[in-house]
Amino acid sequence: MQRDNSYYPRTRSRRLRKNSKIRKLVSESRLEVADLIWPIFICEGDNVREPISSMEGVYRLSIDNLVKDAKYAYSLGISCVALFPSINTNLKTIDCKEAINPDNLINTATKILKDQCPELLVMLDVALDPFNASGHDGLFDGNSILNDETIEILAQQAIIQARSGADILGPSDMMDGTVGKIRDSLENEGFFETLIMAYSAKYASSLYAPFRDALKVKSKLVGNKKTYQMDPCNSDEAMRNTYRDLNEGADMVMVKPGTPYLDICYRIKTSFGVPTFSYQVSGEYSMIMGAIKNGWLDEDTAIFESLMCFKRAGCDGILTYFAPKAALLLSR
């Protein structure tokens, strides 16, 4: 019996969805292990693996465990880790002098990690909040954040981190002129190959709260960070910041947080065509993990979907606490 095809379209989109092989063949976006950067919190001590209560499955690691976990990540195909220090309270001061101690926790960890796993890329945060008694990313005089004084110490911090072996520096402070000051300082010291991933569009967000728990700075924070981090209402401002940072010598740019700002990722990538990254921050991670833990979401599909959206928005890479789990998922 001949079918009357007058009621059916000649183009049927479902033909391209009928099985996994065809779906993969015509997929417009790809998520690969090479796209992932794994943020890791480090702490003092030996054989420490301290759970972070607000981040299910994430730990503060002593350097010996950092090396073990980083080697494992590298074996999964993860090529870069981003390190963040949780230092002792007595080292947090108003002048943030521990930030420029060549033998501080983050620099020591970097030296050891690069010695033990030299092929692994190490990214370090250039900011003062882990070292600041006020919890701010810049020097605080009790009333305001001191921009120009802050970038002077950030430049010193960046040089010391480069000497420690950092491959990528991530200025996350959101001061004006930081990238240019750091780039000039690196060049003057002969660090011509050190990469800068500028936090060009870092928004003042509630989604950083678990991260601040991890660094033990949440209770220290005086006021808020709205005078230097971006207003969530703004999009054009992110474009201006990105343009400035690229002109000042940034090699890559970042949008932070991630999922609520995919429109910014898309605008930056399509406008500038430069390596664009996004940070799936602690609050994003904790919300997804909370839903997974309660049985409301399937773990594998939730992780995959939450990361694929960054690639679809144009991101070249993603900083995510899901990196090891995602690497295992992608290897199946």
Using alpha carbons only, what angle is made at residue 21 by residues 17 and 25, rounded to the nearest 5 degrees?
A: 80
Catalytic (active site) residue 225: no
Distance, CA of 107 to CA of 162 (rounded, Å)? 9
Distance, CA of 102 to CA of 159 (rounded, Å)? 10
Distance, CA of 164 to CA of 143 (rounded, Å)? 34
Which candidate in 202, 225, 269, 311 is catalytic? Answer: 202
Distance, CA of 145 to CA of 141 (rounded, Å)? 7
Which candidate in 111, 256, 269, 311 is catalytic? Answer: 256
Catalytic (active site) residue 202: yes
- Residues identified as active-site: 202, 256
